[in-house]
Structure 1
């Protein structure tokens, strides 16, 4: 069917369920028919259109996405919750020929666009806001990452995975890609652990694997996931940010007790979703680690002068090499005609490796600010608060730092902040939140925290 999804996988599993939604079951044979229908619709305008797709968790969206890959039509995926203004901004910047939203096709224009031959997919770097740059990925990127993930995760055609993440998000999309490539079943859902129906689905539909971001597992653990009897569940994966060490330990202990596998993984959209994973048998011993490079990839570190670091325990910027490294960034349609891919991806993450070669992520280069001339690592500051028993989120820019906390912990957060950070009071503010603001991909929205802190500070 494409370099990502071989034809024989669909043919060999024709009567099996490919997708299950709340509306029903779609077999591999039915999915193939839907793909063919979308190919016909999409090819009726220009020879090689650029397609913008509101990527919902339904059969139509998945079929349209797969039709684009099969036909060689570049497709930009965006969150279905993107506002009308956000959609308009995306269309203005990328000028797609076709817009697919709410399961309907709209022709925006029929001009032939200069599109690089290797371009297959565009993913946003900004969750559900529609701003920011786009990551350009090739068919080779998708095929390499899918094959690599399938080589270390025990995905088989007998699996049924529960996928609660947006498919416009690289992690959610990679789960879809890997399972369809293996002829497995993907159970799509918009339910969260806060919904009673989620637990019914997890228990009654014989789910064999589960994937999620830190906020998803935090919800699961608050609701005693580790005390559930889930005999069909064979393994679960966590990526999309760093889950707290205590949470990782609880998941690893649960996996160990009930003979399951817990995969802690690390990746970025710029690497088509995955760069590293931690051997599940190592998780209990190294709950903070991200592990080693995925098959076919290579990790290394460099210091602030660009020199490679060869000693264990020394922190530097994490670098990645592999066939899954993106073509490049895209700001608008003028960037789509040609790409000059870099062999090395500078991740912007700070990390070190240990004597076993396992890497641990310690923070972000861009999460370092200066307060009154002193460098402050925001991720490190969050960790210091956590060591003192306070769950906070810290955002900031030079000479301004916002500590987000729960209402009940406001005074304690203010007190701890003064003891941890030596900076003029005008540079510091504490803001209470009932829930952390999240991006569409489930990660903490630090820009929203920063803005809320600024508003409080400016309004007294």
Structure 2
């Protein structure tokens, strides 16, 4: 069961609290309403409003497959998803213009499909999440009920989540990491604080103090910003657990926030995951961070890593690099690109080829070195874009925020807030290290790197700038 009998939802803007039997009743009521809908998946424009979270929990309780979407998704992309998957309903639809083939309910919060027939999703299919943010033509990741619940339970045990814990919605709920925070805390009987603002809003930190938040989840960008804001956990006596996932964080940041938390008796957990794994696969226990800095951890219980070498064989031998392969009960059933595929069963049998490059050490701890497909070409020479980003960070140019994208037979390097001299230095550094002509590196300064709603760099947006 996803919602423990002691779990609580706290809606920060109104102060409303749903707990225990009251929360259970609200979830069952919504489950009954969703169970009466025609066949098909349910779409939810997922926000941190109480009604939106109850929509999600009600769908899980009713056994209805539900897709969580970014509420700021462009109209054309939303329309395309509706056309491809023909959901029985679109929840959280306030403000959405008229949709062909759908009609609004009495309150206008839900759009219902006119056609009564539809593909019945596979009985094990619980949650669907897009493979990309606000750009592109995303497929949906098909997560089984077992995968979602097992991962939530495992995370709760690994992090030691207790019924006294309070976690805020510091990440969007349509983002797998943010949804994982919600799931793992509700399953353990803890509280989730629903707050509409991000962590850079004063009201967010006021709520952290008022509701005695105990844990905070963030991606590397959040920690970069917290460092600039001179975040001090001593100002928030209840906050004693930080978790980080959503990309590789700089070693300096890991060491700094580990030291900050340790100084106040707290903990930092570095984690690794993908939406396709519901989503978390590994963690570095807080006590192992000093001697495993740079690692994303060892596999969670019931999971295992191996490395696929260039010859196609897999190994767990220390130090051998290649594509990271994960095996576990939380691996997705597969992808769906259209409605008909919602009825398909498990296609991966618990094996996920992550597309990440890395290696294992002698203790089974995983180190990520880049992406298999983050490749560009400079004058015909293949280069790993993640490696170039790391080279710039290590060049001591006074620039931490860097993004590299592929151009036409060159790469474009974006530096946040960089002076002209830093841009020139970055170009010379890369040219010297790669032994390529400097004209292959187009280095540009930007006020701030564009971010997706989950806090990750919006690479497609940078690519579109040319």
Which residue does the alignment assign to 1:151?
Answer: 157
The alpha carbon displacement at 1:188 in A equals 1.6
Q: What is the aligned residue count? A: 443
Could you tell me how far apart the structure 1 residues matched to 2:117 and 2:420 are?
56
Which residue does the alignment assign to 2:43?
Answer: 52
Which residue does the alignment assign to 2:266?
Answer: 260
The alpha carbon displacement at 1:227 in A equals 5.8
Which residue does the alignment assign to 1:309?
Answer: 315
Answer yes or no: is the 8 Å Cα contact 1:226–1:250 preserved in 2.
no
Could you tell me how far apart the structure 1 residues matched to 2:184 and 2:438 are?
50
Matches within 5 A, 1:130-149: 131-149=137-155
Say if 1:298 and 1:310 are closer, same or farther in 2 by CA, change over 3 A.
Answer: closer
Answer yes or no: is the 8 Å Cα contact 1:210–1:236 preserved in 2.
yes
The 3-state SS of whatever aligns with 2:222 is helix
Could you tell me how far apart the structure 2 residues matched to 1:282 and 1:138 are?
32
Deviation track 1:305-359 (CA, whole Å, cap 9, x = no partner) reads 2112343222111110000000001111121121342131000001112222211
The one of 272, 275, 287 equivalent to 1:281 is 287
The one of 26, 32, 36 equivalent to 2:24 is 32
The 3-state SS of whatever aligns with 1:413 is helix
The 3-state SS of whatever aligns with 2:420 is helix
Please identify, of 426-435 and 438-447, the stretch whose mean Cα deviation from structure 2 is larger. 426-435
Please identify, of 255-264 and 36-45, the stretch whose mean Cα deviation from structure 2 is larger. 36-45
2:348 aligned with 1:356, yes or no? no
The alpha carbon displacement at 1:130 in A equals 6.6
Which residue does the alignment assign to 1:457?
Answer: none
Deviation track 1:145-173 (CA, whole Å, cap 9, x = no partner) reads 11111121111111111221110111000
Which residue does the alignment assign to 1:436?
Answer: 449
2:76 aligned with 1:66, yes or no? no
2:426 aligned with 1:420, yes or no? no
The 3-state SS of whatever aligns with 2:59 is helix
Say if 1:216 and 1:408 are closer, same or farther in 2 by CA, change over 3 A.
Answer: closer
Could you tell me how far apart the structure 2 residues matched to 1:30 and 1:81 are?
31
The 3-state SS of whatever aligns with 1:324 is coil
The alpha carbon displacement at 1:30 in A equals 2.8
The one of 234, 238, 261 equivalent to 2:240 is 234
The 3-state SS of whatever aligns with 2:232 is helix
Say if 1:88 and 1:208 are closer, same or farther in 2 by CA, change over 3 A.
Answer: same
Matches within 5 A, 1:47-196: 48-102=39-93, 104-108=109-113, 109-129=115-135, 131-196=137-202
Could you tell me how far apart the structure 1 residues matched to 2:160 and 2:191 are?
14
The alpha carbon displacement at 1:279 in A equals 1.3
The alpha carbon displacement at 1:43 in A equals 2.8
2:226 aligned with 1:220, yes or no? yes
The one of 203, 209, 215 equivalent to 1:203 is 209
Q: Which runs of 5+ in 2 are unaligned?
A: 95-108
The alpha carbon displacement at 1:407 in A equals 4.6
Please identify, of 176-185 and 107-116, the stretch whose mean Cα deviation from structure 2 is larger. 107-116
TM-score by length of 1: 0.91
Could you tell me how far apart the structure 2 residues matched to 1:185 and 1:310 are?
39
Could you tell me how far apart the structure 1 residues matched to 2:327 and 2:171 are?
27
Which residue does the alignment assign to 1:458?
Answer: none
Answer yes or no: is the 8 Å Cα contact 2:377–2:406 preserved in 1.
no
Deviation track 1:70-118 (CA, whole Å, cap 9, x = no partner) reads 1111111101111222211110111101111246121123213132121
The alpha carbon displacement at 1:423 in A equals 4.0
The alpha carbon displacement at 1:229 in A equals 2.8
Say if 1:45 and 1:406 are closer, same or farther in 2 by CA, change over 3 A.
Answer: closer
The 3-state SS of whatever aligns with 1:93 is helix
Instruction: Compute the RMSD of aligned alpha carbons.
Output: 1.9
Could you tell me how far apart the structure 2 residues matched to 1:42 and 1:194 are?
35
The alpha carbon displacement at 1:430 in A equals 2.2
2:392 aligned with 1:385, yes or no? yes
Which residue does the alignment assign to 1:366?
Answer: 373
Could you tell me how far apart the structure 1 residues matched to 2:88 and 2:366 are?
43
The alpha carbon displacement at 1:26 in A equals 2.1
Could you tell me how far apart the structure 2 residues matched to 1:80 and 1:21 are?
19
Deviation track 1:336-395 (CA, whole Å, cap 9, x = no partner) reads 121342131000001112222211111101112232232311111111111112332111
Say if 1:45 and 1:281 are closer, same or farther in 2 by CA, change over 3 A.
Answer: closer
Could you tell me how far apart the structure 2 residues matched to 1:44 and 1:143 are?
24
Answer yes or no: is the 8 Å Cα contact 1:211–1:237 preserved in 2.
yes
Could you tell me how far apart the structure 2 residues matched to 1:265 and 1:144 are?
17
Answer yes or no: is the 8 Å Cα contact 1:151–1:295 preserved in 2.
no
Could you tell me how far apart the structure 2 residues matched to 1:408 and 1:239 are?
26
